[in-house]
Amino acid sequence: MRLSDLLEHTVIDTGGRGWGPIHDVLLIQDGPLTASGEASYRIHGLIAGPHDFATRLGYATRPATDGNETRGPWPIRAFLRRAHQEAVYIPWSAVQDIDDEITVRVPPNGFERAAEATAV
């Protein structure tokens, strides 16, 4: 699978609700070892939502092991965090089907906001 198979594709859940296009993909390097001896990457989750301005500029927070904090001047951080507040983090385990649209199963508690998702 290529990232282009996912990026900008619309996410819908099994009930038909739209979650917006995919703007970012969270990769984790803990897959099977490659010939070079390094672990391969695997998809851990997706960031989707109606706005992508903050993500495209690299300011959107995302689940990470380094504190999950957006960096940069505080006025820009505040503005972009607000612009990105509707984005959700979708765990890869929730993906049901990949076609023209990405179909996901919503967990009982819903999806976490991308800016609030906890460390992996």
The confidence score (pLDDT) of residue 81 equals 66
The confidence score (pLDDT) of residue 116 equals 64
The confidence score (pLDDT) of residue 80 equals 66
Q: Is 104 within a domain?
A: yes
The confidence score (pLDDT) of residue 113 equals 81
The confidence score (pLDDT) of residue 31 equals 85
pTM above 0.85, yes or no: no
Q: Is 27 within a domain?
A: yes
Nearest residue to 11 (alpha-carbon basis) of 101, 117, 82: 101
User: In which residue ranges of the chain is pLDDT below 70?
Assistant: 51-72, 77, 80-85, 115-120
Q: Is 118 within a domain?
A: no
| Dihedral angle sign, alpha carbons of residues 93, 11, 114, 77 | positive
Q: Is 65 within a domain?
A: yes
Residue 80: domain span: 3-113
We report the CATH number of the domain holding residue 84 as: 2.30.30.240
- The number of distinct structural domains making up the chain is 1
